[in-house]
Structure formats: structure tokens, C-alpha cells
Structure 1
Amino acid sequence: MSEAAPDRADVRYLGRLLGDVIRAHEGDAVFDAIEGVRRASVAVHRGDAERGALSERLAALDLGDTLCFVRGFLLFSLLANLAEDRSAPPEMRREATLAGAVDVLGREGVDRAAVRTLLDHALIAPVLTAHPTEVRRKSMIDREAAIGELLSACASGSCDPYTEAELVRHITLLWQTRALRSVRPVVADEIGNAFAVLGANVLPVLPVLHARWEKLLGGALPPFLRPGNWIGGDRDGNPNVDAVTLDAALAAGAAVALGHYLGELNQLGSELSISASLAEVTADLAALADASGDDVPSRADEPYRRALTGVYARTAATYALIARHAPPLPGRVAAAPYPNADAMLADLAVVTASLEAGGAGVVAAGRLARLTTAVRLFGFHFATLDLRQNADVHGRVVAELLRTAGVCPDYEALDEDARIELLGAELAQPRMLTLPFTAYSEETAKELGIVRAAAAAHARFGPDCIRAYIVSKASGVANLLEVYILLKEVGVYRPGDPPDCPIMAVPLFETIEDLEAGPAVMRRFLDRPKAAALARARGFQEVMVGYSDSNKDGGYLTSNWSLHTGATAIRDVFHEAGIAMQLFHGRGGAVGRGGGPAFDAIRAQPPGTVQGRIRITEQGEVIASKYGTPAAAETSLETMTAATLLASLGPPAVPPADAARFAEAMATISGQAYRDYRALVYGTDGFNKFFRAATPITEIAELKIGSRPASRTKSDAIEDLRAIPWVFSWAQARIMLPGWYGAGAALGDFADRGLLREMVAGWPFLAATLSNLEMVLAKSNMAVAGLYAGLVEDADLRTRIFGRIESGWERTRDVLLDLTGQADLLDRTPALQRAVRMRLPYIDPLNELQVELIRRRRAGDTDPRIADGIHLSINGIAAGLRNSG
């Protein structure tokens, strides 16, 4: 959630319009019932009434009215979000813009030349994933975007009559739009949704930002900020992703990018009506016009239009070839497709050079410059697609290839050293392992299909379309070499001295154990001459660190500290090897999955771990909130860029001596937090039973919000549960355990309270960590959580475990308030405090109703309206909490 407080006048205004819509469509009785619940809940939160009065009103609702009530509170939360987003977010403070970051660095003695030097080799990439934490349908998101655009043109709390009528129209559409998906989305749906956001908001905004930054820094900049995508290539635990979805994802990106280029070329053709009789043109431009095939007499003296006719025709032919369907508007003349984006850029450069030579540089600096920048940024593929698969799968596939080729009868029985030696020998020779007439297992055939599709994509789109192959559960060097074995089978990895491979194997260190082992794995990997040669040839080696699974494994505080220390140790390994490191941060939306303000998170990275190169996943509900409108996309992209500059070029936040003291103290605190968290979650008898009864985990698993299953396996063990439903279910129950448990006792028992206060005040790492924890505490509610605990039928189990959770929450709150010198949570951020408090009267009643509906359903009531009510309430609570997934 943003720290900006929603404009209260906007909230009241939108709430009034929503009330009018409900009254018009459902009648006064339904409206009065909903309004009565709202007033009762507000009174409870003001301290003017007891919760019993609210419970009585909720109990009086029949099932039909209950569904209307849940929908009403859901829509109010969505509208409040729009009011909040309209308020200037904190990340738009001056230092969170590129100009502001340059000024800050200038005061530290870092000049603009140093900034340009950094950006010359930088890569900043938000990477969209299909992780299922967005419970809203795209139809709902589209209506919200329209309302947000209308609201932006209004004064605080009022609009002109026409705009108000449009608002009422869109709110009516929201009210009458089914909030829940009727079928589970398939990967193709997720691909379409992602590119709808990227195409509408990122594609047109990024070239404008680039032009602004080039003007600020005085000259052309390389395309350092590029969007990425996992959807269609991430098959870790998702059986629905295969070679077909990979091809579909790339084709969808190409269609969006090339469709945009065609639209811009069409506009340019209309604009560039320059006559050769009134302005000189270069010989290259004349040649481009003559080669276009455009012989319409009325354009005989308009060489720019004729030239652009040819560029358009070649782009349209390219669209048909690589997007594999007809372009929106075919070219007027026959033309061959462009072989690559560089060829298109060459033609655009001819047009630009001629305009500048003819004294029309101001014309070239407009739409043509933006189009040229877009092609440089996005190429023909638009967003770079990552591949991802679990290391266990690679191990089985490579074992089968080696066995059927007669190389090794039982690869999986080998230890790490033997595997490395065997794989290294295979990678050194050109011989293939796959045999043309061998019937491979379904798993192996599927994995070979993926890498064959990747090789075909490189030929079709160019090497930038796929650059990284993420290896989940990476625990050794062999896990990375196995990827290169598979890529060698399709000619992407080419043996030699040095070898060549345009796709990089990237280890993903996810658990606490993986993060601790990561530096040793990377040291051993980079000690291999050919692995080091590959990294040096591309200029860097990427390492991905996972926030979600490390949190589920070790708790919030330990996860954050393990990520911090792991990144620092890996940095040192790369420094010793003389190779640049690129970290890829697998962050989610919820604090328990690495969420929180991106600006603060990037700035809090350990010194020397950014250096102008960073990739960050953007998931679920975060995609719509950060990139759902052009304005939001602009803010998010500029924020990420400014934070990367400050983290890369700014001085260390604390002197080395203080950093050493702080780290020693943090290691002690993290150790105790880890033991406390593990003791509760993995060491307490019956905890899994409590978790599954006291949260709506079962009901969440039924939601049709993503194409991937909730668990990696059929086991119901917490270890096998995906981190997303783990965090999401605790958030729904308002316990939010993954975002705070273990921290209170560890911080409270640390003996040197003075040192701890010094760390909180002067160390960005701990300040950002506790700031996010504080937000989680403010959104949790132990009274509401107690209602969910009441779903646990075993009274002894309920009392024993919930008692530990409740006392842990209270201690965490008390310790945090003491360390920060506050009387109440969020006192230091009053805007955020007001925003959270404004929402709670609309979230708590949804929780209470959800508990009752879950109780009835689990008791055997099969009325389908009960399931609808539960799922709608999940939607409403998620909308109110915002960053709950």
C-alpha cells in the first residue's frame, strides 16, 4: 500500500456514487442494510460501539443480501484504492525521480559523466510473472482504470456533470460485472493479460521517459531499462507450460510491439507531408523512397511518405511472419519482412538523418524519435522471456539422455563431483546425446521441446528474446551444467575455447539453506574456466534470490537477513573472480514475499550488489497497481531507475566499522528469530492442522485465479505448499504470520537496546525491514484472527497455538513501538496510518462474514451462494489490504 492518504473528499464522493448505484439497482432495503453495516463498523472502530452490534447486523442479512453487501464493500475498497492512487505516492518525492537522484549524487561528488558511464552498461528490468495473487478479473481492472482516468480530471471530491455521468456509468458496469472468474485461466489468458498491461502502459511511456532522461544527461543513452516476462516460459510446478505456450508468449509480445510500430508509422506517414520541392532530402532517403514500391502519383514529390510506405510494408510483413497472423492493416505495397530490428532501425535512421540535414530536426525529435527509441528498447520481441524449471526435472532428463546414449547408466546415483566431471566432458565435445529414433519419456520429450522452441525463437526474434534460464532449487554446479547440456542438444550452447551460449543458466537460491550455500556454489562455478569465460563474454553472470520460500522456510526477519548476507557473500565471490554480478530479486506483493516500497528496497541493498544491474519480479496484484495506467507505469519505472542509480553510485549508508557491529548484532537476532519461527511452524504438533482450519487455505485453493496449482506436489505438508497461498491465507485471516512472527522475541531479548536503536535509526536495511513489518502489524487484527481460530474444532489445539500467536503479535508490536519511539503503529507515517484506518471498517465485516460462511460450508451446507460469498469476501479483503499476496 502506498503511504499516501486517499483524498477523503474523493473517497466520500466515490462512495456516494456507489451508494446511488446500489440503491438504483437493488432497492432502498438492500442499500439501507449495507449502509447500516457500514455505520456500525465505523462506530466500532471509533470506539463508539461494541462489536456485538455489528455482529447482530451481519447476522440479520440473508444470503442474497450478504452477497450484495460483500460486493458493495468490495467495490468500495476498489474505489478507495483509486482515490489513494490519485494522491501523490511517496516514491514521487524528488529523490525518486532520475533528476532528483542525479541531484543527490551531485551533492555527494558524483557527476553526470559517472551516471552516464553506469547507464552505458546498466540493465534495469521489471519482470512480469503469472504468480496467482491477483483475484480481480481483467474486466474489473479495466473498469477501474477507466474510473481512475476520469477521476484524474476532477477536482477533489467533485466532477463536472458529464464526467460524473461517466463515473456513474462505469461504476454501474462494475456493479453488474461478475467479480469472480467462472473458469480457471489458462496460460494463454495470463499471457494476454500481461501484454495488455505492458502494451497499453509501458510501451508508450518508456520511450517518453527515455527522451526525458537523455535530455537531462545530455546525449543518447543505451536501452538500459527493459521489461521482462516469465509467463509462458516458467514451468516450475506448472504442467500447463510447454513449447506451445512459449511460442505463444513470444508471438503475443511481437504482435503488441509490431502493432504499436505500425500505428506510429501510419501516423508518421500522415505527418511527414514534406515536399522535395520545398526541402532537400539526402540521397539515402531518396533511395529508400524509390525502393519502397509506392508509385502513387499524388505522392511523387513526397519522398518521406513514400519511404515510410516501404518501412510500413516491411514491418507489416514482419508482423505476419513472426506474430503468425495478419497485421491490423496490411502494407499498401508488397515487401519482404525485416530480418531483425536493426534493419528497421537502419531505415528509421535514414529518415531521421534526412530530416536533420534538411533543417527539420525538430520534426525528427518528435514521434519519429519515440518510435526509434521504442524499437531500440523492445526490438521485435517486446519483453525478454525467461525460462524456468526445477533442478530435479533437469536431473531426471539429463540422466535419461545419458543413459539412452550409452554414456552413463545411472547419472542420478553420482555425487556432485562426478556429475560435474561428466557434464564438463560432454560440454567440451560437439557430439549430441539425443538419438532421432529413440522414444523418450513424456517429461524428457517435453523438456527437449522447450529448448527446441527456444532455439527456434532465437532464429525468429533474435537472441534478446530469451536470455536467461532460471534453475529453481539450485544446490550445486551440476544443476547449471545440466541446463547447458540441454541447450547444447539444440545448438544454442556451442562448445569451444571459449564456448558460446546466448542463454545464461541462472541459479535460484530460495531457502535459507540455499542462500547460505549460494556463495560456495558460485565460487565453484566461476572457478571453472569455461563458465567464467561465458560470463566474461556476456559481461556478467546473474544470480536469482527468492524471497517467498526463504520466508516460509525461516520466517520474515531471518529471510531478510539471509538475503542480505547471501547477496553480500556472493558479491565478494564475483569480486574475487573479476566478473560482474547481476542479482535478480524474486519479490512478491506481500511483505512476507518481499513486498514493500521498491524504492526503499533497492536502496537498502548491500553495498556493491547493484552496480547498475538489477532485475525484479512483478507479480499478481502488484502488476495492476504499478503498471495499470500510464501514470502508474511512469512512476514505477522512474522510481526503479532512480533507486538503482542511488544504490549503485551513492556512498555506503553506514561506515564499515558500524556495518560490522550491526551485522554481528543482526546475526544474533536472526538466529533467535529463526529458532522461534521454526519451533512454531515446523516443530509444534498439530500446527499444520491449525493452519488449515484457521485460515481459508482450502477455499483459496478453489479460486480460479491462476493456471498453476497451489502445491508443488500432492502432499499437504507446509514444506510442499507454494509460498503464495501460504502468505495469502494468513493475510485473509488477518494474522499475517509470515510478515512478523519470530521478530518480536528476537528483538525484545537482544540485550543491547542502545545498539538496536542505533541500528533502527541509521541502517537502511533494518529501517526498511521494520517499516514493512510495522505495516503488516497495522493491517493484522488479533480480535478478527480469533474468529478464524474459532474454526479450529480441537479446543486444546486452538488455545495452545493461537495463544502463542497472539502473545507473539503483542510482543512484536510492543518492541517495535519501543524501538521507534511511537505511541501507536504508523505514527511516523500519518498518511499511511490514515489510509489503513480508513479501510479497516470495510475489511473487518468481510472477515466476520467470511468466517461464518466458511463455518457453514465446512459443516456441509452446499448452497452455491455460500461458496460465492466466501470467494467474493476473499476478493474484497484482498482489495482492502492491497498487498496481501
Structure 2
Amino acid sequence: MLGSQLSLGLGLVSASDALLALAAHSPDHSPHRSGEPYRRAISGIYARLAATYRALLGAAPARHAVAEAEPYADAAALAEDLDVLHRSLVANGSGALARGRLRHLRRAVKVFGFHLAPIDLRQNSDVHERTVAELLEVARPGTAYAAHDEAGRCALLLEELATARPLASPHVRYSDETEGELAIFRAARRAHLRYGTGAIRNCIISKTDDVSDLLELAVLLKEAGLLRPLEHALDVNLVPLFETIGDLENAAGVMERLFALPIYRVLLASHAHTQEVMLGYSDSNKDGGFLSSGWALYKAEGELVEVFARHGVRLRLFHGRGGSVGRGGGPSYQAILAQPEGAVQGQIRLTEQGEVIGAKYGNPEVGRRNLEVLVAATLETSLRPAEVAPTPPAFLEAMQALSDAAFAAYRGLVYETDGFERYFWESTVISEIAALNIGSRPASRKKSTAIEDLRAIPWVFSWSQCRVMLPGWYGFGSAVRSFLAAHPKDGLALLQRMHRDWSFFATLLSNIDMVLAKTDLAIASRYAALVKDAALREAIFGRIRTEHQATVEALLAITGQRELLDGNPLLKRSIRNRFPYLDPLNHVQVELLRRHRDSDGNEGGAIDGRIRNGIHISINGIAAGLRNSG
């Protein structure tokens, strides 16, 4: 197709020396194209692409090349040949042709290379720890890696990183877990050699809580040849993921100690002194509630900015946001603008998950619009004037007090109330979500019903389905009530000023406003009725009702609104129009849940199957109606 567009002859246009050289090296020697250097060059490019296709996939492409040619070593070599075409066209009066299919092809090569979509590797730090411990114990019996403190672990790991000698032996049979981890990294190395380093760029360490977690991954990468100490080469980014409230509070200290290691700074130089850090919204919310999670993330970002600036390292933050407000969701534009000063340095990375992907990118025009919004917010935040006044200390102190009170209220209900775990499993669809296998991973990390072991996605999703939306607002009402009790004279005025002058606080309240508008305690009471213990039901749902009322009152008092979403009339109208169709689904779902649980599978396969299918359909319908619920 490109060759048919670029049929320019030398009798009409000129061509650069580089383009003529590219045409001269082409295996296309047809006399019919002797005066068409662009076509000949494109034939040569395609011949090399066809050879690359055969080399990578072991099969012939659908369209045969004019002759055999040498395959491309990497996608960068292909991009350079296309750049030769582009520069020649622009320099010789044919710039309009360079803006057609050629521009799209050059962009596709830049984005997709030979690998199509890049992937990240991600594993829990505990798995890396067990794998490294086994490798060390086999290679150096008596090491007892797990028994060492942090300093001892780092010393052992740094000793291994200083040498190219591998730990793993092909003559030793390791545990299935260790063999599996090594196989993954070796497969990543093969992917790099075959498709280029763009195929796998990042290795993310879940539950990072100290420097040894990053060094353990570095040792495993060395085993696969993805880290080569003698060459000072690191082929992937080591990305710590700080998830819980405690981990977020320690994030800056961990990176400070990491940057103090000379060997790591040498490796970082191969990545243009840029370090990516991932922040977990979901688990921090489940750990401490919406308000405390948001504040912990904000503080962690500010502290990381200071540490990175001090060490001369460029920070790239990776925000692990979900679709729901309880997992960091909400309007992306406002979320980016609410980042601390210096946290967005011309680049930002974030996740889009669940039904949000279809809603934002299912339509090309809508997808383009969402990408434009992200780019605009990133540019606007990065180009803030340097002389912008810092956040007033009074705002920071007030936010810390609110966070502490909200944390206590949230933990008091979720983790310190007897029977709460039972209430949650009986009053929500969590059991059906786990049984229906509609998620990408099991609902719990372990075979238990403990809240601590439950994954954040089903936790938030279950509260959304029953219209409580608890992870998106619980604790705020108690926090404001406590703050106003401690500051009876000027407390409310200070909170109102924070809402007016501080984008971070305004975004928090905007998200709470949206979540509260989607909460319906009347419907939620029907789900609560599924709890068999009446005393437990009344005790916990009564607390939820009281906190909900306090949160609505606090929000309206601070924002000055008469009703929820007065400040966002478009969303208010959208919700008002959707809920007459959504609410009946909740009532149907409650009845299906009651029948399913009462039958305990005894109604017969066909009937019970229809009930389970109905529950599944209702879950999808409610999620679609609520939109950002997962």
C-alpha cells in the first residue's frame, strides 16, 4: 500500500543521497522501477521485514517479498529506514506524502516495535525472598538467608550482585516455586533477544517494604542474564510497589537507602538516571480507608520528590488506580492536577482497569478524547510556575488530623469489630463473586474469609454492588466531627478554605460527593437483611447508617452545597436518569441471592444454574449502571 502511494519518479522529484543508497541496496532490480527510488527502497524494506517475520515466527508472510534479504536486527533499524523515506520526502517538496500512511507506519513501529504490546512482570516480594533463600542455601549451605536482618540480607545480596557467577545450577532440582520463577525470567530474556527489550520493560515488586526486596529481584534478574554486573547493564526497570499505609509511609526512606548503594546507582545510569515507583491505591484503601489512603499517597509522593531531587534521579510515578473511587478512581484530569508539586515531571503512568477500559476506550473518538485529557493534565501539572506558593502548614496539619481520625474510625469498624467479617460475607455478593470466577484472580490471596487476605478488587466491588460504597467514604464523617470538636471556633472555616484553595482536598471531596450520590442505604438495608444474626445486622448496619449521615452532613457543610452533586449538575442528571433502571436490578439481585443461599444447591441443577446465571447477569448490569465500581 505504501509503495503504491510513493511512486514518485526521479524525473519529477529529487531524492536524498540516503534514500538513493537505500534504493540501491534493495533486492528489487526490476527495470520498470529503475527510476522510482522510493518504490525500490520500500520493496527492500518489505523484503527485510518478510525475512524478519520468518526469523521471528518461523513461517512465511502472506505476501512474498521480491527476493531474499537480511532480516532487521531490531525495530530501531526498521524505524531508521522509514525515517530515511520521511526526511527525503520532506526535503524534496513532498511533505504532504510524508504525513499519510508513512507517518502512521512510523508511529506504529515506534509504539509496537516487533513485540506489539509491552508487558510488565509482577510478583510478590515474599515469593522473591523464598526463591533467593533457596538458591543461596543450595549454593552456600548454612546461609539461612531468611534468618538474617535487613542489613545482613542486603550484605549477602550485594555480594552476589558484585560477581557474574550464577547461583542456580542446572544440575540441581529446586522447588516448583523456584523453578517457576527462574523459568519466567529466562523466558523474559529470550523475549528480549528475539523481539527486543521493548517487549518487557518493567519488573514490579508487590508489597515492597525495604531495600532487600529490590536487591532480591536484581539477583534473580542476574540469574537470567537480564542484569549483567560486569557490563553494568540492567535490561528492565526495577519498580517497587508500595501498597499499604505503612509501606507508603516508609517509601521515601527505602528509596533513600537504595540510592545510597553505589552498585545500584551504576545500574540506574543505564536507564538515564530515571527510577519508576508504583503506588498502590487499592490495598492502601482496604488497609486504612479512603481518606487515610489518599493522604498517605499524597505525602509519599511529596517525600519521594524530595529524595529523588536530592540524589539527582528523575522520578516517574506509576499510579495503580482502579475504576472505583475506593481504588483510586475518579476523574483523571482532576486527579493529575491534584498531585504534589514535582510529582509529575513531564510523564506519568497509570493503570486503567475493569469496566473503565470499555467505557473510556471502547470507542475510538472517546478513547482519543480520554488520552487528550491525560496529556493535557500532565502538561499543565508539569508546567506549573516554580514560584507557586507551597501548601499552607495549617492545611497539612488539618489533613493529618482528619486522616488520623478517619483511620481510627475505619479500622474500628472493619478490623476491630467482632462479627464484621461475617456481616460482610453475608450482606454482599462476595461469596458469589468468588464462586462464579468472574475475576482475573481468586477473591482471596489465601483460602480464608479474613478481610486481611481478601483482594482489594472484590472488596470494593462487593460494597458497590450492594450500594453501600463503603470504601469510598467511610470515616470522613467521624473525622470531620472530631476535627470540629477540637477546633470549635475556626475549624469549619479552615476546612472550607482548604476545599476552595487546595486542589488535593477539593478532589478528595469531589470523589466522596460522587460516591455518596451513588450510595443508597434503603437498597443496602435489603442486602443487610441477608445477614442471619439480627443483632449483628443491626449493630453494624446501624454504625454504617450513622456514619453515612455524618459524612453527608460534613460534606455539604464544607462544600456549601444544598444537595449532593450540586457542583456537578451533568453527573447529577446522569445518575438521576440511570437509577430508575439500576435500582430494580439491585432488588432482583437480593431476591436471587436469598434463593441461592436458601437452596444451598438443593433446588436441582437446572433451577440452581438459572439462579446463578441470574446473579451473574445482575452483577454485570449493576456494574455497568454504576460505571466506576470495580
What do residues 316-353 of structure 1 show as CA deviations (whole Å, max 9, x unaligned)? 33234335555453434322321111211222122223
Question: Alignment partner of 1:335: what SS?
Answer: coil
Q: In 2, Cα distance between the equivalents of 1:500 and 1:288?
A: 33
Amino acid at match of 1:643: A
2:616 matches 1:871: yes
Question: Alignment partner of 2:483: what SS?
Answer: coil
What do residues 644-677 of structure 1 show as CA deviations (whole Å, max 9, x unaligned)? 1111121379732x43211111000000000000
| Structure-1 residue corresponding to 2:424 | 691
Amino acid at match of 2:497: E
Amino acid at match of 1:667: Q
Q: In 1, Cα distance between the equivalents of 2:144 and 2:170?
A: 22
| Structure-1 residue corresponding to 2:322 | 588
2:544 matches 1:801: no
Q: In 2, Cα distance between the equivalents of 1:590 and 1:523?
A: 32
Amino acid at match of 2:457: I
Task: Check conservation: 2:428, 2:466, Cα contact below 8 A.
Answer: yes
| Structure-2 residue corresponding to 1:616 | 350
Q: In 2, Cα distance between the equivalents of 1:572 and 1:282?
A: 49
| Structure-2 residue corresponding to 1:280 | 14
Residue 873 of structure 1, CA deviation = 0.5
Q: In 2, Cα distance between the equivalents of 1:740 and 1:723?
A: 16
2:493 matches 1:759: no
2:453 matches 1:743: no
Task: Check conservation: 1:552, 1:738, Cα contact below 8 A.
Answer: yes
Q: TM-score, normalised by structure 1?
A: 0.68
Seen in structure 2, the aligned counterparts of structure 1 residues 636 and 523 have a Cα distance that, compared at 3 Å, is same
| Structure-2 residue corresponding to 1:667 | 400
**Structure of greater relative contact order (alpha carbons < 8 Å, 6+ residues apart):** 1
Q: In 2, Cα distance between the equivalents of 1:549 and 1:376?
A: 35
Seen in structure 2, the aligned counterparts of structure 1 residues 678 and 341 have a Cα distance that, compared at 3 Å, is same
Task: Check conservation: 2:279, 2:318, Cα contact below 8 A.
Answer: yes
Seen in structure 2, the aligned counterparts of structure 1 residues 324 and 561 have a Cα distance that, compared at 3 Å, is farther
What do residues 204-252 of structure 1 show as CA deviations (whole Å, max 9, x unaligned)? xxxxxxxxxxxxxxxxxxxxxxxxxxxxxxxxxxxxxxxxxxxxxxxxx
1:781-860 matches, within 5 Å, as 781-860=520-599
Q: In 2, Cα distance between the equivalents of 1:696 and 1:312?
A: 54
Task: Check conservation: 2:234, 2:270, Cα contact below 8 A.
Answer: no
Seen in structure 2, the aligned counterparts of structure 1 residues 585 and 603 have a Cα distance that, compared at 3 Å, is same
Residue 478 of structure 1, CA deviation = 0.6
Aligned-residue CA RMSD in angstroms?
A: 1.8
Seen in structure 2, the aligned counterparts of structure 1 residues 733 and 323 have a Cα distance that, compared at 3 Å, is farther
Counterpart pick for 1:391 among 116, 125, 136: 125
| Structure-1 residue corresponding to 2:116 | 382
Amino acid at match of 1:660: P
Q: In 2, Cα distance between the equivalents of 1:456 and 1:411?
A: 29
Task: Check conservation: 1:759, 1:766, Cα contact below 8 A.
Answer: yes
Seen in structure 2, the aligned counterparts of structure 1 residues 652 and 589 have a Cα distance that, compared at 3 Å, is farther
Amino acid at match of 1:551: N
Task: Check conservation: 2:3, 2:38, Cα contact below 8 A.
Answer: yes
Question: Alignment partner of 1:582: what SS?
Answer: strand
Amino acid at match of 1:363: L
Seen in structure 2, the aligned counterparts of structure 1 residues 413 and 269 have a Cα distance that, compared at 3 Å, is same
Residue 683 of structure 1, CA deviation = 0.5
2:159 matches 1:425: yes
Amino acid at match of 1:368: L
Counterpart pick for 2:2 among 264, 268, 271: 268
Aligned residue pair count: 617
Question: Alignment partner of 2:349: what SS?
Answer: strand
Task: Check conservation: 1:536, 1:579, Cα contact below 8 A.
Answer: no
| Structure-2 residue corresponding to 1:499 | 232
Q: In 1, Cα distance between the equivalents of 2:91 and 2:306?
A: 51
Q: TM-score, normalised by structure 2?
A: 0.95
2:278 matches 1:544: yes
Counterpart pick for 2:409 among 676, 690, 695: 676
| Structure-2 residue corresponding to 1:291 | 25
Q: Which runs of 5+ in 1 are unaligned?
A: 1-266
Seen in structure 2, the aligned counterparts of structure 1 residues 621 and 322 have a Cα distance that, compared at 3 Å, is farther
Q: In 2, Cα distance between the equivalents of 1:445 and 1:545?
A: 29
Counterpart pick for 2:467 among 720, 723, 734: 734
What do residues 466-503 of structure 1 show as CA deviations (whole Å, max 9, x unaligned)? 2221101111111100011011112221224x832121
2:103 matches 1:358: no
Q: In 1, Cα distance between the equivalents of 2:16 and 2:513?
A: 63
1:460-539 matches, within 5 Å, as 460-496=194-230, 499-538=232-271, 539=273
Q: In 2, Cα distance between the equivalents of 1:536 and 1:347?
A: 29
Question: Alignment partner of 1:311: what SS?
Answer: helix
Q: In 2, Cα distance between the equivalents of 1:336 and 1:716?
A: 58
Question: Alignment partner of 1:749: what SS?
Answer: helix
Q: In 1, Cα distance between the equivalents of 2:627 and 2:53?
A: 38
Seen in structure 2, the aligned counterparts of structure 1 residues 510 and 653 have a Cα distance that, compared at 3 Å, is farther
Question: Alignment partner of 2:536: what SS?
Answer: helix
Q: In 1, Cα distance between the equivalents of 2:46 and 2:481?
A: 67
Q: In 1, Cα distance between the equivalents of 2:392 and 2:283?
A: 27
Q: In 1, Cα distance between the equivalents of 2:281 and 2:65?
A: 48
Question: Alignment partner of 2:185: what SS?
Answer: helix
Seen in structure 2, the aligned counterparts of structure 1 residues 815 and 501 have a Cα distance that, compared at 3 Å, is same
What do residues 601-638 of structure 1 show as CA deviations (whole Å, max 9, x unaligned)? 11101111111132111112121222222212211222
User: Between the two proteins, what is the percent identity of the paired residues?
Assistant: 53
Q: In 2, Cα distance between the equivalents of 1:469 and 1:855?
A: 44
Q: In 2, Cα distance between the equivalents of 1:685 and 1:724?
A: 23
Q: Which moved more, 1:451-460 or 1:783-792?
A: 451-460
Q: In 2, Cα distance between the equivalents of 1:598 and 1:408?
A: 51
1:163-242 matches, within 5 Å, as none
Task: Check conservation: 1:273, 1:302, Cα contact below 8 A.
Answer: yes
Counterpart pick for 2:170 among 433, 436, 440: 436
Task: Check conservation: 1:512, 1:562, Cα contact below 8 A.
Answer: yes
| Structure-2 residue corresponding to 1:718 | 451
2:134 matches 1:371: no
Q: In 2, Cα distance between the equivalents of 1:328 and 1:632?
A: 33
Task: Check conservation: 2:320, 2:350, Cα contact below 8 A.
Answer: yes
Q: In 1, Cα distance between the equivalents of 2:524 and 2:208?
A: 37
What do residues 424-473 of structure 1 show as CA deviations (whole Å, max 9, x unaligned)? 11111121111121111111111111111111122122223222211011
Task: Check conservation: 2:355, 2:624, Cα contact below 8 A.
Answer: no
Residue 357 of structure 1, CA deviation = 4.1
| Structure-1 residue corresponding to 2:68 | 334
Amino acid at match of 2:530: L
Residue 290 of structure 1, CA deviation = 3.7
Q: In 1, Cα distance between the equivalents of 2:76 and 2:270?
A: 21
2:625 matches 1:880: yes
Task: Check conservation: 1:543, 1:581, Cα contact below 8 A.
Answer: yes
Task: Check conservation: 1:653, 1:763, Cα contact below 8 A.
Answer: no
Task: Check conservation: 2:27, 2:66, Cα contact below 8 A.
Answer: no
Q: In 2, Cα distance between the equivalents of 1:358 and 1:507?
A: 49
Residue 551 of structure 1, CA deviation = 0.2
Task: Check conservation: 1:322, 1:460, Cα contact below 8 A.
Answer: yes
Seen in structure 2, the aligned counterparts of structure 1 residues 327 and 788 have a Cα distance that, compared at 3 Å, is farther
Residue 718 of structure 1, CA deviation = 0.7
What do residues 39-66 of structure 1 show as CA deviations (whole Å, max 9, x unaligned)? xxxxxxxxxxxxxxxxxxxxxxxxxxxx
Residue 550 of structure 1, CA deviation = 0.2
Q: In 2, Cα distance between the equivalents of 1:816 and 1:651?
A: 31
| Structure-2 residue corresponding to 1:162 | none
Question: Alignment partner of 2:233: what SS?
Answer: coil
Counterpart pick for 1:575 among 299, 309, 312: 309
Amino acid at match of 2:627: R
Question: Alignment partner of 2:351: what SS?
Answer: strand
Amino acid at match of 2:555: L
